[in-house]
Structure formats: C-alpha cells, structure tokens
Structure 1
Amino acid sequence: MSALRMAAVAAPFGRDLEADLVRIAELVARARQVGVRLLALPEACLGGYLASLDGGSADEGPPPLDPAGPEIRRLAALAGEMVICAGYCEAAGADRYNAAVCVSGDGVLGRHRKVHQPLGEDASFAAGDRFAAFDTPVGRLGMMICYDKAFPESARALALDGAEIAVCVSAWPASRTRPAADLADDRWTHRFDLFDRARALENQIVWLSANQSGSFGSLRFVGSAKVVGPGGEVLARTGTDGGMAVAELDVPAALATARRSMGHLRDRRPDAYGRPVPAG
C-alpha cells in the first residue's frame, strides 16, 4: 500500500450549521489540494459544542442531527474520494448523543457515540457504550471523542479490534480553575498532548487528534491538532492557534516496524491482570 497522506484540523465551530459546513468545505478543499486522503475534523464541528460545562448555562446545546439526514449527506458529498471524520450531535428518539461520523462519497463508513462524559456533559447527552473499529478505503479505523482518550481501555479496545489508525475528535478546553496566559503552557494542553502520544505508543497505532480552537461560550479550546506515529512521535502539529497538521506515512509498514521487536498487543498477559475493578 502506498503512503497515506492524512490531516487533523484545529478550528473553531459554532451553532450556525451553514457557516460550519462552509468552513468544512474550505478545509476539505485545502486538504484536497495537498493530496490528503484522510481528514479528521473536531468534535461538534457540525453545530458547535456546549457553551459551558457547569450545567448552569441557558444554552440549548447543539442542534440534534439525523445520522442519515441532509447534513451528513452533504458532508459525504464534500468528502468525495476522501475519508472524513467529524463530530456532531446525534438525534436518537428522545436521546441526544455526542457523536462522530466517518464518511466518504459512498456514504457513512462508521459512527461512534462518546462513552466517557466529563463534568456536566451528561446533562446534555446520553452516553455511548462501545468502541468498534471499521474498514475504510484508507485502512481500518477506530474513532473516539475527547475525554474518551483519557481512558487507556478506549484506545486498547480499538487496537484489539484491528484499528490501524485511531481518530480522536475533541472540543478540549483549557483549564478553568488555573488557566495559563499562554495556551501552550496550560496544564490541560499538556494533558491533551500527553494522552495523544501515550495512546499511540502503548497501542503502536497511528493517531489523528483533531480539536476545536478559539473560544465558545465560557470555554477556550487548546487547538493542538496533530498526527502521531506508532512510536509516539509527533509527525505534524498545528499549535494552539489552529490550522491543519498534515503528515504522510505508509501505515502498514510503520506498524510492522513499531511492533517488530516489542509488540505491545502481542506481548499482553491478560491472565495476569486480574479481574476489572468495579466502578466506584
């Protein structure tokens, strides 16, 4: 398989769906110009994220979208020959999910509902209950959303399901209690970056991390989109101001090289890990 050019985006998105789709179209056109075949867009790039995580905001939240509806079909049409992962609010009967969709011009390739909910997010969304990889024209992918990556089990479940590439879409904010004047120095920026590298390295997979940038409501996002190789090395990054991190990699060859001597998935000893600790 030839080298895959992939990109992760850090950009701001809000409640105006038409404006969001126009921005996505611009990003897709820019990515296409440089030969990108896999593009990761942020969490909630269709309709914006929550305006606050304290539960006291009057904001009604992002518009709920039908996963088979016109907005997702329009996203797929924009994708064409490209594979695109993007975040949105999914309508499912009376429930709403913080969700991600993977599309190409052929339609929906995969979906994910955010499993782990930080702070007051559970007041707005129901929780997903699984992590599953799926096949695409650019390889076997798995998706997660923001806080999901703080849990090693999330990425491990995808890797054990054969994911070669993990795409994590985020609306990861800066610290609310001790914010740094410079986002690059913020402790939540440090955590965001550390999780990206650790999850890639411990599972020896390629990792695309997209994130919102700028501000929305009371939240200021840390940007820092990146592409990480299976050895935990950052291949491309945007920094906190936003942009598009683009990297090219022969994914099967890179995974084979990373796993040749010490294969973290191969060398697991599940019999020694004991029974799972009940949630407390």
Structure 2
Amino acid sequence: MESEKIKVAAVQMDCVLGDREANLRKAEKLVVQALKAGARLIVLPELFNTGYRVEERDVEMAETIPGPTVEWMQHLARKHSVYIAAAILEQSLSKGLVYDTAVLVGPEELLGTYRKTHLWDVESIRFTKGDAFPVFQTAVGNIGLQICYEVGFPEGARVLALQGADILLYPSAFGKARGYAWKIATRSRALENGAYVIAANRTGTEKEETEFGGGSCIVNPWGEVTAEASEENEVIVSEIDLREVVEQRRRLPYLRDMNRSLFAKLYG
C-alpha cells in the first residue's frame, strides 16, 4: 500500500463572547499558522465564532448554512486548497430552533454538516438534537464528525468507523473540570476504532464560571498522542498516515470482531 501521509491541525483558542467578527479575525490568524506548517485538514473548536455561553442570544447568533461563517470557511478552503471543520450555531428552517452543528468544507465546496446528537446539561434546552451520522469521503480520507461531549459516547464514533471513517473530528468546548475524561476519551475513541482523532478544544473562561480545558490533541489509531496543545491560543500539527489505520485494524480487529447482531438487538 502506498503512503497516504498528510499533515493535519487542531486550533486551540479563547474566544470573545458574542463577537463574531473578532473571533473570525483571530481564528484566521491561527488557520494561517496551520497552513504555513503544511496542514491540509484543519479543525476549529465548537462555537469558535460566537463563544459558547451565548445562550440568551442563541437564536440571534445562529446562522444559516451556508451563511457568514461557513462562507468565511469556504473562502479559506478554496484559496488554500484545504479542508476545514468547525462547529457553529445553526438556524433551523423552523423558526426558534437552533442546532449545534459541525461543518466540513473542502477546496471545492461545502461537503456537509453533522448536528450534535448528545447534548450536555442545559444544551438540551438550548438546542435541538440531530439524528444522523454522515461520513464524508475526501481526498485526505473518510471523515466523521462528532462534537465535544460526544467524545464520551463510544457509539457515535463506532457507527462512523463502521461506515468507513478513518478520521474522527471533535470540535469542542470541553470544560476544564472534566479534563481527566477528555484525556481518556480522546485516546479511547482512536484506539477502539483504529482511527485518527483530531480534537480541537476551547480555552479561557466565560461569564466568570465556565472554564474550558484546552488539551487539544491529535491521536493516532494506536491511541498514542502525536501532538497536544498547552497554550491558550495554539495550533498543533501532526502528520497522519492512513496506512496506520489499515495496520491497526488488522492487528486489533475490533471492528471485524464486533457482534453487530447482538448490539442491533440491544439498541433497537
């Protein structure tokens, strides 16, 4: 099998609460750093464009897709021939409903979206749940999307892997108080699915009470961390090789050996 190596990046950043323009300016500087390092796939945090604690402004700040933020992502992707993923507030066609939605764009087009299916705490009041697990076939690999809290739910990642995902992306605003869970879960989702995990997390504190944990990381299919962020605003870059996905899944054949009929009954 020929080499399928590419460089990927996770952007870790603090955000200005409720200021889309300031956040896009800041994010663009960090994306440029990733581009200069040769990254072809770049992941931004959850709600990076608005900040996370905008609950009283969710409807106001939610965007259509495409809309201002996705168009900004598409411009960068086309200009630099790269893939960019992030999670934003999505305005539903039904007025007043909002989704927490991950978006993937490529050099040519908007590839698609994933709406968060497992909502954390009061997110169940703020957002409407998604109900689909798409996998996107791209020139850099088959990509599956999850969002933040969902890193603790192995089912979503497993469904994506069984549908062909080689790379799992986690745009996140994960709290510092549960940093221990973040460390274990990001490594576990990679190992048990034989997939790369790229997890981009927030930093900073919002409304003097919600502190984000950082620790953005890139994890290989063996569960080994190949890059991890430690600064408030930082870009981490690592080379991935899809041959490792094949090798790991042959040596640790969890996907092959899973008793799918049993779980179909349990989850039916």
Report if TM-score (shorter chain) is over 0.5. yes
Out of 216, 240, 245, the residue aligned to residue 206 of structure 2 is 216
Match of 1:121 in 2: 123
Q: CA deviation at 1:207?
A: 0.5
**1:89 is matched with which residue?**
89
Q: CA deviation at 1:107?
A: 2.2
**1:151 partner letter:** F
Greater fraction helix:
2
Pairs within 5 Å for 1:52-201: 59-61=56-58, 63-80=61-78, 81-93=81-93, 94=95, 95-175=97-177, 188-201=178-191
Distance (Å, rounded) in 2 between the aligned partners of 1:171 and 1:20:
15
Provide the C-alpha distance between the structure 2 equivalents of 1:66 and 1:136, rounded to a whole number of angstroms.
24
Percent identity, aligned pairs only? 33
* Corresponding position: 1:246 with 2:237: yes
State the Cα deviation string for residues 84-138 of structure 1 (Å, max 9, x = none). Answer: 1011100012211011101123221121111001111121111111212111221
Which deviations, in whole Å up to 9, do the C-alpha atoms of 1:120-179 show, x marking residues without a partner? Answer: 11211111112121112211100011111211111001101100100011111122xxxx
User: What amino acid maps onto 1:5 in structure 2?
Assistant: K
Corresponding residue SS for 1:265: helix
How far residue 5 of structure 1 moved from its aligned partner, in angstroms, is 0.2
Q: CA deviation at 1:261?
A: 2.4
Residue 273 of structure 1: CA displacement? 4.3
How many residue pairs get aligned? The number is 259
Describe the SS at the equivalent of 2:221.
Answer: coil
Query: Is the 2:33–2:235 Cα contact (8 Å) retained in structure 1?
Result: no
Q: Helix, strand or coil for the counterpart of 1:87?
A: strand
Letter aligned with residue 186 of structure 2: D
Residue 239 of structure 1 deviates from its aligned partner by: 2.6
Whichever residue aligns with residue 72 of structure 2, its letter is R
Tell me, which stretches of 5 or more residues in structure 1 are unaligned?
52-56, 176-187
Structure 1 segments (4+ residues) deviating >6 Å: none
Matched, 1:204 2:207: no
